[in-house]
Structure 1
Amino acid sequence: MAQILDPIPNDDNKALLCCYVNATSQIQVARITNVEDWYFERVVFPGQRLIFEALPQAILEIHTGMMASAILSDTIPCYRLAMQETGSETDEPEPAPVNQDIPAARPVAIAP
């Protein structure tokens, strides 16, 4: 995944694919400031999922607030937000074949 605005420094290729979800009803700002020579800041709307790449030692700061002020409401190590990557981008479950019997988890009694 490419960081369009400000890529992770090239000296370390151990980037993690991370996911953060804003589960609040307020707009948040997600920011990473502890990685040298790198700036990361994104607005995260309520219910939005933010997927990003970060170094394992990075700390995601979550700022919540109103128009002119923001409060640092949480700090999360990025290794805790890491997603499991699969071997292929096309790994999707196969749909069940049409017009075939699908066994039930337990027998179903049908009333006469």
Structure 2
Amino acid sequence: MAQVFDPVPSDGEGKITCCYVNATSKMQIARITNIPNWYFERVVFPGQHLVFEAMSSAQLEIHTGMMASSILSDTISCSRLRLQETPASAATKEAPDSSPASLYSEAVTLPADDTILLRAID
């Protein structure tokens, strides 16, 4: 995975791919400060998945935002956030139909006597 901003230091060993999910209803700041010569900080909105590369020794600090302040609410080892890689062949086997038609036809089922009115918005 390529990171355009603030790539992991090239001399770093044990580079891993991580994922953090903001499961709160508040905006958060994810920050790694324990790796020398590397700065990592991202805004994570409610429900957002943050996928990033880090060294396995990195500690992800989660700061929860309030009106004019931020509170350090958690510190998580990046090794606990590591994504497990699957072989490409396993990911493509028996993939469900993800065409837009199949997604919509399964998402909503209405009784036959209901009428839906659609109106174009100018």
TM-score, L = length of structure 1: 0.79
* Runs of 4+ in structure 1 over 6 Å off: none
Counterpart in the other structure of 2:77: 77
Q: CA deviation at 1:14?
A: 1.9
Distance 2:90 2:30 in 1: 29
1:34 aligns with 2:42: no
Change (3 A) 1:71 1:20: same
Match of 1:91, SS?
Answer: helix
Number of positions where the alignment pairs a residue of Structure 1 with one of Structure 2: 96
1:62 shift after superposition:
0.2
After superposition, the C-alpha distances for 1:65-111 in whole angstroms (9 at most, x for unaligned) are 22321000000000000010123288223257xxxxxxxxxxxxxxx
Taking a change above 3 Å as real, the CA distance of residues 14 and 67 of structure 1, as seen in their structure-2 partners, is same
Q: 1:94 is matched with which residue?
A: 94
User: Identity of aligned pairs, percent?
Assistant: 62
What amino acid is the match of 1:79? S
Correspondence 1:1-112 to 2 at 5 A: 1-88=1-88, 91-95=91-95
Q: Structure 1 residues 89 and 49 mapped into 2: Cα distance closer, same or farther (>3 Å)?
A: farther
Shift in CA distance, 82/95, structure 1 to aligned 2, threshold 3 Å: closer
**TM-score, normalised to structure 2's length?**
0.73
Q: CA-to-partner distance for each residue in 1:7-61, whole Å, 9 max, x for gaps?
A: 1000124211100000000000000000011100000000000000110000000
Distance in 1, matches of 2:90 and 2:23, equals 28
In structure 1, the residue matched to 2:100 is none
Q: In structure 1, list runs of 5 or more residues that go unmatched.
A: 97-112
CA distance in 2, matches of 1:38, 1:89: 35
Gaps of 5+ in 2: 97-122
- For the structure 1 residues 88 and 41, does the alpha-carbon distance in structure 2 shift closer, same or farther, using more than 3 Å as the test? same
